[in-house]
Structure 1
Amino acid sequence: MAQENFTHAFERIGELVAIFQKNASFYLSPAYNEVDARKDFIDKFWMALGWDVNHETQTDPYKQEVKVERGVAVSELRKRADYAFLAPNFRDVRFFVEAKKPHVGLDNPLYYFQTIRYGWNSHVPISVLTDFEEFRVLDCRHKPDIKTSPGHAVLKFHYTDYTDLEKFRNIYYLFSRDAVLAGSIESFAQGLPKISKKRVAARGVAKDEHQSIDEAFLKELDEYREELARAFKRKNPELDGEALTEVTQRTLDRLVFMRFLEDKLIETEPLIEDLNRKGDAWENFITTSRRLDKIYNGIIFKDHPLLDKASFNIDEKTFKKISGSLSHTNSPYDFNAIPIHILGSMFFQAPQPFL
């Protein structure tokens, strides 16, 4: 049966290769978009590997091994992974696939950064970046960095490789449904170069030797808190420890909640990136806070007697740096993947007061 599945997949994908090759000039042109590439080739590629991409069999929305993101109109860096493969428990992602249109090619650091961020935040060791013409397997164990992300491709294939029996065998026995259920992702991850002495047993994922992703995120926020507090104190020397702690924490709470709203796609337009896009970043921050206060309950965006006053002095350079670091363009974190209790610990635990 296993050999039959392999043979069927090899033949079916070979048919897709023939179609692509015959009309390559069109499929590689700007006129051919990502939506059509997914429908015509990428969906069918994964279906040939045994995955129920279109949920023809797995009709229960709570028991589907492939989650497909379609038609979400958000910016490139804010979109979710095009495919998440969750076999066998319908909950834990085994790997992600990010799709692009063939015309643009895959050699864009942004695409690598985006794909690795999906995997890293979900503790997934590898993920796939593909436009059907090309197929890249990326090591997602590294903290995403747009400067170094292109160096984390561990396997590369061209669509003509899909008809090479041995090269296709590498793809099939790593990503087919049968292979994944048999532990192929874990086995492959074990063979990747070690980046830490300490390894996590679950799904073969290597984390930082001393910190989980969640701990790293909270540590980074503490660093922002200290830097922001120093800047506020320089510009507003009359602030006592209690007031300084409060305005610093409220500012970070707002920035983090903005990212939460963005990554959960509750707000479909970018918030933090727009703060720094034009004009005064702090002024944009206050204006956005006023708008969000009219929409969301709670105290985070409520008018603050110090923070929201025109008399409150700001180090624009420091605020721009910190808010920029939390934007989608620069931040390695996916707030859609960070557990809600971690965000809660930030919002509801009292920070260490500044003296």
Structure 2
Amino acid sequence: MTQNEAKRKIQELVSKYEQVKLSGRIDKYSEQDTKDSFIRPMFEALGWDFDDREEVSKEEFVNSAGRVDYGIYLNNQPKLFIEAKKLGAAIHKPEFAEQAIRYCFNRVVTWAVLTDFESLKVFNAQNVSENLSNKLYFEIPYTQYVERFDQIWQLSKESFETGLIDKEAMKVGKLQQKITVTEQLAKDLNEIRELLTKSLHQWNEKVTADDLDEGVQKLLDRLIFLRVAEDRGIEEPILKQLVRDFDLRKDNNQHIYQSMITKFRELDEVYNSGLFSQHPFEKWEEYGGATKKAIDILYGKSGYYEYDFKLIPSDVLGQVYESYLGHLLSKSRKGLTLDVSAKKRKEQGIYYTPSYIEDYIVEQALKPVLDNCHSVAELKAIKVLDPACGSGSFLIKAMEMIEKKYVEFGARKGEGIRLQVLLDNIYGVDLDEKAVEIARLNLVINSLETRMKLPGLEQHIKNGNSLISGTDEELKKYFGKNFRDKKPFNWEEEFPEVFN
């Protein structure tokens, strides 16, 4: 459909709406009637194929509280989400807009549409302003759809293909203040890490910098895991409840840090994966309020951005983790500092690989192998090994691809397939111990589907130098008596199930 044809189609829809309004039948239109009679035809006129599931996804769930009605995709990437309401709905209510905006923010999508056809609102969900009106790109009443058609055309498939909507939004200053969930989450996790590090150091001065860094990382891993479990509906809002209970206690004899450790002991009985096993940091003390602040940050800021970890893609978490793998904690007379270390990044090869490159590499390496699989037994026999796994992003892409193959063989999603893939097919090595821990966490989070015992991944994701191997005699001759400091990694010994 050409631009002129689309304009005529929208003129027809406006005329149809006016007839419905004059007849007094607006109240008889349900939300589904509105979508079928007005909203879907409007966006079909703009070039979107609602019969193509890869282009238009219907009723994407936000959380237990609701959903957005349509997800619009281009080249498998979400570009726009539409929240539809019945004819005559009060779409001026902030909660309607905030629902669509929150979903877009967590899915790293810029544009959100809210419409009941009588009015159409377009929001920039990535705008950093706390004011909803600043997030509003434009609003058009149905009476101006034809005369302001050029603006409506910005929501067309052609507009997204050419980048027109972004260019036009930049002209009027509506695409300048932008922050993605990746950037914001990385910033917030670094803030949490710094808060906890400084406060725990203040109350536990005898703890070494290395032990402090390890303890804070372990604590942060647990907090992230719980936020994911909460937003997936697997756990109640444990962390938020800890804060509320602390605020309600009059004597505050037991600080929130100690309450949190008590909860970790309970969770260790549930998940039994090593994630919640006893650790020296549980005997530390923290009375400075950093724990409470850290928990608050992990929920995001209401009306500004709110994290929904159910929606945040796994590769986004991977990017966030890798952004602070290169940070180095150092202790001096001035106190503790957490800085980006270019030297550490170079020595340990800490570099972020863009998602589209990961997709391409995994597609090229794994798809031909999967295409030759004709049974579940053959699928189980595949071994995917990443010799420099970082935060596990490549391995997660591989897990998702293998899971799709299981579904082709008749398995159903949500029945423990990802966990099975993780245990049967996935292996990794990294030189950075922190990266290994993060990769294990990322992989466990990706396979978490219900409240269940989770595996420890010590035999699947290991710490070592994948470029160095050999007998002790050979390594000693080449590197000297301290050759073990190089972390040599003997593949056949470490992963016998892969190489035998």
User: Is the TM-score greater than 0.5?
Assistant: yes
Give CA-to-partner distance per residue, 1:11-31, whole Å, 9 cap, x none.
13542454366344577xxxx
Whole-Å separation in 2 of the counterparts to 1:19 and 1:12: 11
Cα pair 1:67 1:84 within 8 Å, conserved = yes
In structure 1, the residue matched to 2:277 is 302
* Match among 63, 67, 74 for residue 57 of structure 2: 67
**Which of structures 1 and 2 has the larger relative contact order (alpha carbons within 8 angstroms, sep 6+)?**
1
In structure 1, the residue matched to 2:186 is 218
Cα pair 1:262 1:270 within 8 Å, conserved = yes
Give CA-to-partner distance per residue, 1:145-178, whole Å, 9 cap, x none.
5x3233221211234444xx213x1354122335
* Match among 142, 154, 160 for residue 127 of structure 2: 142
* Match among 85, 109, 130 for residue 115 of structure 2: 130
In structure 1, the residue matched to 2:207 is 239
Structure 2 counterpart of 1:315, which letter? Y
Instruction: Give the drift of 1:324.
Output: 0.9
In structure 2, the residue matched to 1:93 is 78
Cα pair 2:82 2:112 within 8 Å, conserved = yes
In structure 1, the residue matched to 2:365 is none
Give CA-to-partner distance per residue, 1:79-121, whole Å, 9 cap, x none.
6x5432112x1x222222234566553342x555554455456
Is the partner of 2:319 in helix, strand or coil? helix
Whole-Å separation in 1 of the counterparts to 2:201 and 2:78: 44
| Aligned pairs for 1:46-195 within 5 A | 46-53=43-50, 55=51, 58=52, 61=53, 64-70=54-60, 74-75=64-65, 81-87=68-74, 89=75, 91-99=76-84, 103-108=89-94, 111-119=96-104, 124-143=109-128, 145=129, 147-162=130-145, 165-167=146-148, 169-193=149-173
Give CA-to-partner distance per residue, 1:207-231, whole Å, 9 cap, x none.
67xxx76355334322221211222
Is the partner of 1:352 in helix, strand or coil? strand
Is the partner of 1:93 in helix, strand or coil? strand
When normalised by structure 1's length, the TM-score is: 0.69
Cα pair 1:174 1:185 within 8 Å, conserved = yes
Whole-Å separation in 2 of the counterparts to 1:14 and 1:277: 53
Instruction: Give the drift of 1:185.
Output: 2.1
Give CA-to-partner distance per residue, 1:42-82, whole Å, 9 cap, x none.
445434544333x3xx2xx5xx1112235665246xx6x54
Cα pair 1:141 1:207 within 8 Å, conserved = yes
Percent identity between the two aligned chains: 28
Cα pair 2:112 2:123 within 8 Å, conserved = yes
Q: Find out whether 1:249 has 2:217 as its counterpart.
A: yes
Is the partner of 1:339 in helix, strand or coil? helix
Cα pair 1:13 1:45 within 8 Å, conserved = no
Structure whose alpha-carbon radius of gyration is higher: 2
Whole-Å separation in 1 of the counterparts to 2:278 and 2:206: 20
Cα pair 2:188 2:298 within 8 Å, conserved = no
Cα pair 1:94 1:185 within 8 Å, conserved = no
Cα pair 1:244 1:354 within 8 Å, conserved = no
Cα pair 1:17 1:159 within 8 Å, conserved = no
Query: Against the structure 1 CA distance between its residues 345 and 70, is the aligned structure 2 distance closer, same or farther, given a 3 Å change threshold?
Result: closer
In structure 2, the residue matched to 1:6 is 7
Instruction: Give the drift of 1:296.
Output: 4.7
Instruction: Give the drift of 1:128.
Output: 1.6
Give CA-to-partner distance per residue, 1:218-254, whole Å, 9 cap, x none.
3432222121122223334443333322332222222
Query: Against the structure 1 CA distance between its residues 275 and 46, is the aligned structure 2 distance closer, same or farther, given a 3 Å change threshold?
Result: farther
| Aligned pairs for 1:286-325 within 5 A | 286=261, 289-290=264-265, 292-294=267-269, 296=271, 298-307=273-282, 312-315=284-287, 317-325=289-297
In structure 2, the residue matched to 1:203 is none
Query: Against the structure 1 CA distance between its residues 148 and 314, is the aligned structure 2 distance closer, same or farther, given a 3 Å change threshold?
Result: same
Whole-Å separation in 1 of the counterparts to 2:70 and 2:110: 16
* Match among 318, 335, 339 for residue 316 of structure 2: 339
Cα pair 2:91 2:114 within 8 Å, conserved = no
Instruction: Give the drift of 1:319.
Output: 1.7
Structure 2 counterpart of 1:173, which letter? W
Is the partner of 1:129 in helix, strand or coil? strand
Query: Against the structure 1 CA distance between its residues 266 and 302, is the aligned structure 2 distance closer, same or farther, given a 3 Å change threshold?
Result: farther
Whole-Å separation in 2 of the counterparts to 1:42 and 1:284: 50
Query: Against the structure 1 CA distance between its residues 130 and 255, is the aligned structure 2 distance closer, same or farther, given a 3 Å change threshold?
Result: farther
Whole-Å separation in 2 of the counterparts to 1:221 and 1:67: 31
When normalised by structure 2's length, the TM-score is: 0.52
Give CA-to-partner distance per residue, 1:307-326, whole Å, 9 cap, x none.
2x5xx433373322221121
Structure 2 counterpart of 1:66, which letter? V
Query: Against the structure 1 CA distance between its residues 125 and 222, is the aligned structure 2 distance closer, same or farther, given a 3 Å change threshold?
Result: closer
Q: Find out whether 1:352 has 2:341 as its counterpart.
A: no
Structure 1 counterpart of 2:199, which letter? A
Is the partner of 1:174 in helix, strand or coil? helix
- The gaps in structure 1 that reach 5 residues or longer are 197-205
Whole-Å separation in 2 of the counterparts to 1:106 and 1:261: 33
Is the partner of 2:121 in helix, strand or coil? strand
Is the partner of 1:230 in helix, strand or coil? helix
- The gaps in structure 2 that reach 5 residues or longer are 248-255, 332-500
Query: Against the structure 1 CA distance between its residues 290 and 226, is the aligned structure 2 distance closer, same or farther, given a 3 Å change threshold?
Result: same
